[in-house]
Amino acid sequence: MTQAYYTGLTGIQSTQTAIDVTSDNIANVSTTGFRGNNVEFSSLFEDAMNTVDKSSMNNTVGKGAVVSSTQMIQTQGAIQQTQTNTDLAINGDGWFGVQDANNNTLYTRAGDFSFDKNSDLVTPDGMYVVGTMAGNIDGTTLTNSVTTTQLGTTSTQEKLSFPNTLVYPSIPTQNSSFKGSLDVEDGASNTFVTSVIDSQNNQNDLTLKFTKSDPQVLPGMQWDIVATTTSEDGLTTYDTKNAKASFDEKGGLIANDLTTIDNNGSPITINLGTKFDGIISNSSPNPVISESDGMRAGDLVGYDINSNAEVIASFTNGQQSSVGKIALFHFQNDQGLERVSNSKFSTSSNSGDAMFMQDANGKDILGTDILSSALESSNVDLNKSLTELIVFQRSFDSNSKVMSTADDMMQKALDMDA
């Protein structure tokens, strides 16, 4: 009877734990990035029964059961699309790293991130997302544009913080090229204008005016060129160059002494081509087109996150640049992580230290796919969990009945003794 009492007691204790774990799973079925737990039971020591059939596997009396461990469910949660480009979902193995105000790093599958008022990338509860800064920001100026930020080592990951104001600096025009056919009608002149950028971020005009030389020297054709750089409103002239261009009888350019022109302190190399790969002089109906490098400065429009976990800064001049990369951590034993909150975990001696995956060249990489504008849902199977909850509740009731029956039997035994 005493044995039955303690068997029922251990059953109640273990099933109560199972009910608590399963209830927590059900309560977090809508929690982003939540990973549920399974309960594992083990039997206590058993006593052998003295029976005739020594070969029977059932000749034992159990002493109850206990919860041996709770195991993290590691199946992938469903991916839900969102309309927010700072939402990220891990499609495979890996964990995001987040830091609290005391620089303690935790790990999560929940990628519902956003930029706060200071342009720090944070979680809904204000923890900082960690990663590698691109190192291309000096104060409020972008020092260079990069496509991809290479992950640093795990020990160098830091919170991703960006300025609210960021300027993409202007790039003065260094080269302007022209290609096409001049109008060769008698007395015709040709004027072409292209926009160029100076070192003060002004957009100016470079104008080339072609006029037939007089007299013409056959064979071929000669043109006088007047090149000017002016402000966009035409009120200020920065430089004027006079030059000549000579073409052969087929219209190919054979000589040209127009090389450079000043653009408000920034020299521009002018390329008219040679032979037939630039400006030609014949009756071909090919309009002249111009192409100039350089770029005006741009102000920050905002920060986005792409599917490579790159934080991308966009500017009013149409340019973009990576300014950081969100880190994706891995562990030797995910089961060894210790749950801190519903969706956040910390490392332990069982999980090992956080690490990065590496490619064939030894470079640190994400190691799995990141989906932007998406979130991973809880990986709890609601139907299964509800079924388990019913089973555990029935087990709890059965063990309670065992205890009450054992108590009644003990009471009757005492009454008989009296």
Rounded (5°) CA angle 254-206-260: 50
What is residue 410's predicted lDDT score, i.e. its pLDDT? 67
What is residue 311's predicted lDDT score, i.e. its pLDDT? 94
What is residue 269's predicted lDDT score, i.e. its pLDDT? 96
Q: How far is CA 122 from the centre of its chain?
A: 13
The mean pLDDT value for 188-211 works out to 91
Six-digit token string for 76 = 């992938």
Cis ω on the peptide bond leading into residue 124 (within 30° of 0)? no
Task: Specify whether 184 is located in the same domain as 276.
Answer: yes
Strand 266-271 versus strand 175-181 pairing type: parallel
87 domain residue, yes or no: yes
314 domain residue, yes or no: no
Q: Mean pLDDT, the chain, as a whole number?
A: 86
Percent of the chain whose pLDDT exceeds 90: 58
Task: Specify whether 212 is located in the same domain as 243.
Answer: yes
Do 220 and 275 meet the contact criterion of CB atoms below 8 Å apart? no
Number of domains observed in the structure of the chain: 3
Task: Specify whether 44 is located in the same domain as 111.
Answer: no
Task: Specify whether 369 is located in the same domain as 385.
Answer: no
Q: Which of 274, 292, 310 is the last residue of a domain?
A: 292
244 domain residue, yes or no: yes
Between 226 and 402, the higher pLDDT residue: 226
Task: Specify whether 204 is located in the same domain as 283.
Answer: yes
The mean pLDDT value for 202-217 works out to 91
The mean pLDDT value for 281-295 works out to 86
208 domain residue, yes or no: yes
Q: How does pLDDT run across 122-140, given as a tens digit for each residue?
A: 999 999 999 999 999 999 9
What is residue 241's predicted lDDT score, i.e. its pLDDT? 95
Do 100 and 395 meet the contact criterion of CB atoms below 8 Å apart? no
What is residue 6's predicted lDDT score, i.e. its pLDDT? 60
Task: Specify whether 61 is located in the same domain as 136.
Answer: no
DSSP labels for 305-358? E-TTSEEEEEETTS-EEEEEEE-EEB-S-GGGPEE-SSSEEE--TTT---B-EE
Strand ranges for 198-252 from DSSP E: 203-212, 221-231, 237-247
Task: Specify whether 52 is located in the same domain as 88.
Answer: no
Q: How does pLDDT run across 52-64, given as a tens digit for each residue?
A: 555 555 554 456 6
Strand 298-305 versus strand 167-168 pairing type: antiparallel
169 domain residue, yes or no: no
410 domain residue, yes or no: yes
Cβ count near 313 (within 10 Å):
26
How far apart (Å, rounded) are the C-alpha atoms in residues 88 and 366?
13
How far apart (Å, rounded) are the C-alpha atoms in residues 29 and 17?
19
What is residue 353's predicted lDDT score, i.e. its pLDDT? 94
Task: Specify whether 284 is located in the same domain as 367.
Answer: no
Torsion angles phi and psi, residue 37, rounded to 5 = -125, 145
Burial class (CB in 10 A: 0-12, 13-18, 19+), 168: buried
Per the structure, the complete domain to which residue 146 belongs is given by 81-153+323-376
**Looking at the predicted structure, is the pLDDT value of residue 310 above 80?**
yes
The mean pLDDT value for 80-85 works out to 91
Residue carrying the six token digits 């109640």: 12
Task: Specify whether 180 is located in the same domain as 287.
Answer: yes
Q: How does pLDDT run across 226-267, given as a tens digit for each residue?
A: 999 999 998 999 999 999 999 999 899 999 999 999 999 999
The mean pLDDT value for 91-107 works out to 93
Q: How many residues does the chain have?
A: 418
pLDDT band at 49 (very low <50, low <70, confident <90, very high): very low
Question: For residue 280, what are the β-bridge partners?
Answer: 181
Task: Specify whether 59 is located in the same domain as 96.
Answer: no
pTM of structure? 0.75
Task: Specify whether 36 is located in the same domain as 131.
Answer: no
What is residue 167's predicted lDDT score, i.e. its pLDDT? 95
Cis ω on the peptide bond leading into residue 287 (within 30° of 0)? no
168 domain residue, yes or no: no
Task: Specify whether 251 is located in the same domain as 348.
Answer: no
299 domain residue, yes or no: no
